Structure 1
């Protein structure tokens, strides 16, 4: 694929040069256009395709733009020198672009590791401290605490254990999505998956609205459940305790839309796309409110692996996140 892209770019540059050459373009202008084609193919960081495009560009220059034309023979010393310099620059461009790309990827990996450390330091330390504190108190005062306080401490430790489990599960899914996952998908009814999500929460706070009959979808039920769960979990977390979270299901033109609607503070318009970036959070450093920035990234990866989309919809109040799934039968995943 990189070589095909390089070939198409070089051929396009050659055609443009040929048209302009018949009009006014001097030899150096032709070389600049061909050199630009080499730079474009080098930008993705593939050294081999950049060198390949440089060689093909050199052949095009030799065949179409040097004397005698339409042959691979060159009689003009200036043309030989220009072509030699062009090939040297093309090779150097490919090497430098590849090196730059490698350094950029290394920097991105370093930034990712720093983000992971910051996220883990907050999202693992807090529940771990609560669990350790609760269990330590129970151990030290087990014979003195009344049953109600023991139950409260135990329930608090259990809740934070589940919180840790969810966070680690999302980290694992994010890693799998980064490496690429293969879906074990079957055609099935979507409603049981949605109901499984609802049953994992306080059902009194969640309302399910089904606007019309929903066709079956080809999905991995476990992964899709995790994706929907992450969105509903966020909606409950940022909504007032006495306000409902509504899940609206509607089918239209072989697309099923799941709208998760809450009455929380909402998301600023400038953050509509950023909220799905890995480790994006409104939290300021290690303090303040805001999630770990993993859950919605996992949701986006899972939904896109199902050839669907997830997005923040404009809303006058609260937040509306829409998950759209293609209900057409699939056989390619």
Structure 2
């Protein structure tokens, strides 16, 4: 099963179709108001430019011909026919078609360059994030192990254990970051593949609990077993990312609750923390790559990939990841169909 995070071609096609329908409708209305044909051609020309920016070059070229045919059918004599008898109308339509094709090419070229610029900026962000997020745990690991190696005779057994455990913790952080980076890359290129099988959701959450290794995390199961169709390792990664965020951005003396709630033919997985929450004006960007907008981080840092990966994985399982309004802290909720409701 190949996961497609966003069907870009379908979306751009729908936008282009909407632009054409709206523009032709406006042109017909303007014709009833006795707008000159040159004005109608300018309206149709604007449609071609808008389509070129909204989609791709081929769609823009097709739109040019559609607009030319619409001009012929609705606005030239004889009306509501593709036959043209007036030489001026023929010249106007041909001139419109030439200009429309040229402007669509220019607009598509500008659109392409903008996309390339975004890719360059994204690559720069990735390099900057990777260099920082890899260097920090690696420096900690090297520092801890070097200290143990150099000063082991002078260190107590407890001090050695603390240094080794600290290095091990940073190793887990590094592994989690690399895993998120790998999944984010697959999601970005729409190559995330999942293999579905029956899994007990509570068992997956128990693995998350073991992985989090925090007494603050409280797993609260539903009253009955819940089965989901999922790739257990990926769903575990998605839930862990949310739990890890909740633990990271909430006070050390406050619990984080992981609820499993059956709601008709769906299951809701809620992760509630008592942190500072998310500012309302930042909610729209919270799931973007390399965005880390929560405050209250206790010095752990954040790659800005965890929520992006979680959302991509959840949507690959035909689910939704949303931020639920909460009076205190933050509540992230995953909604998944129960096993029998998933379509293969």
Question: What's the TM-score, normalizing by structure 2?
Answer: 0.86
2:329 matched residue in structure 1: 318
Residue by residue over 1:281-314, the C-alpha shift from the partner in whole angstroms, topping out at 9 and shown as x without a partner, is 2389xx9774110111100111111121112222
Label 1:139 to 1:5 Cα distance change in 2 as closer, same or farther (>3 A).
closer
Once the two structures are superposed, the pairs formed by residues 249-328 of structure 1 within 5 Å of their partners are: 249-282=260-293, 290-327=301-338, 328=340
Gaps of 5+ in 1: none
* C-alpha distance in structure 1 between counterparts of 2:299 and 2:110, whole Å: 37
- Given that residues 50 and 93 in structure 1 are in contact (C-alpha distance below 8 angstroms), is that contact kept between their aligned partners in structure 2? no
Once the two structures are superposed, the pairs formed by residues 174-185 of structure 1 within 5 Å of their partners are: 174-180=184-190, 181-185=192-196
* C-alpha distance in structure 2 between counterparts of 1:4 and 1:269, whole Å: 30
* C-alpha distance in structure 2 between counterparts of 1:242 and 1:263, whole Å: 10
Residue by residue over 1:84-137, the C-alpha shift from the partner in whole angstroms, topping out at 9 and shown as x without a partner, is 221122112221221122111112112212222332232211111111112222
* C-alpha distance in structure 1 between counterparts of 2:25 and 2:250, whole Å: 59
* C-alpha distance in structure 2 between counterparts of 1:199 and 1:120, whole Å: 27
1:231 Cα deviation from its structure 2 partner: 0.6
Label 1:305 to 1:17 Cα distance change in 2 as closer, same or farther (>3 A).
same
* Secondary structure of residue in 2 paired with 1:276: coil
Count how many residue pairs are aligned between Structure 1 and Structure 2: 330
2:199 matched residue in structure 1: 188
Structure 1 window deviating more from structure 2 (17-26 vs 139-148): it is 17-26
- Given that residues 217 and 329 in structure 1 are in contact (C-alpha distance below 8 angstroms), is that contact kept between their aligned partners in structure 2? no
Gaps of 5+ in 2: 1-9
Q: Which of structures 1 and 2 has the larger relative contact order (alpha carbons within 8 angstroms, sep 6+)?
A: 2
- Given that residues 72 and 82 in structure 2 are in contact (C-alpha distance below 8 angstroms), is that contact kept between their aligned partners in structure 1? yes
* C-alpha distance in structure 1 between counterparts of 2:259 and 2:13, whole Å: 46
1:94 and 2:104 aligned: yes
Work out which of the residue numbers 318, 324, 330 in structure 1 matches 2:342.
330
* Secondary structure of residue in 2 paired with 1:141: helix
- Given that residues 127 and 161 in structure 1 are in contact (C-alpha distance below 8 angstroms), is that contact kept between their aligned partners in structure 2? yes
1:239 matched residue in structure 2: 250
CA RMSD in angstroms comes to 2.6
1:172 Cα deviation from its structure 2 partner: 0.3
Work out which of the residue numbers 187, 190, 197 in structure 1 matches 2:208.
197
Question: What's the TM-score, normalizing by structure 1?
Answer: 0.89
* C-alpha distance in structure 1 between counterparts of 2:210 and 2:294, whole Å: 29
- Given that residues 174 and 298 in structure 1 are in contact (C-alpha distance below 8 angstroms), is that contact kept between their aligned partners in structure 2? yes
- Given that residues 127 and 163 in structure 1 are in contact (C-alpha distance below 8 angstroms), is that contact kept between their aligned partners in structure 2? yes
1:22 Cα deviation from its structure 2 partner: 4.9
- Given that residues 45 and 100 in structure 1 are in contact (C-alpha distance below 8 angstroms), is that contact kept between their aligned partners in structure 2? no
* C-alpha distance in structure 2 between counterparts of 1:115 and 1:7, whole Å: 34
Structure 1 window deviating more from structure 2 (205-214 vs 245-254): it is 205-214
Once the two structures are superposed, the pairs formed by residues 1-333 of structure 1 within 5 Å of their partners are: 10=20, 13-14=23-24, 17-18=27-28, 21-22=31-32, 24-69=34-79, 71-180=81-190, 181-213=192-224, 215-282=226-293, 290-327=301-338, 328-332=340-344
